[in-house]
Structure 1
Amino acid sequence: MAIDSVPTPVTLRWAVRLLRGQAVVVGLIAAGLLVANFTATRTDLLSAVLITLFAAGAAAALWALGGALLRHRAGARAPAIVLQLMLLPIGWFMIQGGLGWLGVPLIALGIGVTWLLVSPPTTRALGFE
């Protein structure tokens, strides 16, 4: 018996690559926070641990969502879009704070990955059409 599988379109493959790239970057940030937690001379331990755990959890979520989307799990698209849309206010506040060189690419990344996730080829591959 042959199982008929839908090929993974290029839009979905790029969305997964970008999600996994974000996971790696956020994971590196979490690792840096962990090092800072151990080397800081003074810190609010609870806040430091919670921020580090939040970053590690975000990295794990991005990686897992990328994997689920690669396996054409339709339920992973909405959480991935939510995480991408969260980049918009983050980027905006970075621009307002004088970090436009980082805020503008974050906004572009959020919009770009969202577009890849809602594009017609991705929508078909995930079984929404």
Structure 2
Amino acid sequence: MTIDSAPIPVTLRWAVRLLWAEAVAVGLIAAWLVWADITATTTDLASALLVTAFAIGGAVALWALGRALLRRRAGARAPAIVLQLMLLPIGWFMIQAGLGWLGVPLMALGLGIAWLLVSPPTTRALGFE
């Protein structure tokens, strides 16, 4: 068994923590969607199941990317950044819909995690330098 002598940088640890927090939040939304699918009186079943599956897949992807980054898998950084940048248009449309109280923090969260993932300590820890 080998032990990596370099500690995991704070930027990478926080990026992983925030990715896992997002995964939990999306997982809770997915659980609510499952409940809504089961208790709905009328629904377009195919659309409901597709949206629910998308939420479950998003939660699993966020959790898996956080785990891979914690294990210093460099290939997990780009997909994690893409998922974070997807929060920008989501937040923008929320602002346009009058939900700025939610859209602005979502955009800040996405940019913050993306910054943590491209910061020099994280870049070094993932072996990009």
- TM-score (norm: length of structure 1): 0.97
Separation of aligned partners in 2, 1:80 and 1:22: 11
Identity of counterpart residues, as a percentage? 79
Residue correspondence of structure 1 range 33-112 to structure 2 within 5 A = 33-112=33-112
Separation of aligned partners in 2, 1:4 and 1:15: 19
Amino acid at match of 1:9: P
Separation of aligned partners in 2, 1:59 and 1:108: 19
Separation of aligned partners in 1, 2:65 and 2:57: 12
Question: What SS does the aligned partner of 1:6 have?
Answer: coil
Amino acid at match of 2:18: L
RMSD: 1.1
**Alpha carbons of structure 1 residues 3 and 25: separation in structure 2 relative to 1, 3 Å:** closer
Separation of aligned partners in 1, 2:26 and 2:13: 20
What stretches of structure 2 of length at least 5 have no aligned partner?
A: none
Equivalent pairs, count: 129
Question: What SS does the aligned partner of 2:6 have?
Answer: coil
Separation of aligned partners in 2, 1:66 and 1:2: 21
- 1:11 and 2:8 aligned: no
Separation of aligned partners in 2, 1:104 and 1:15: 19
- TM-score (norm: length of structure 2): 0.97
What stretches of structure 1 of length at least 5 have no aligned partner?
A: none
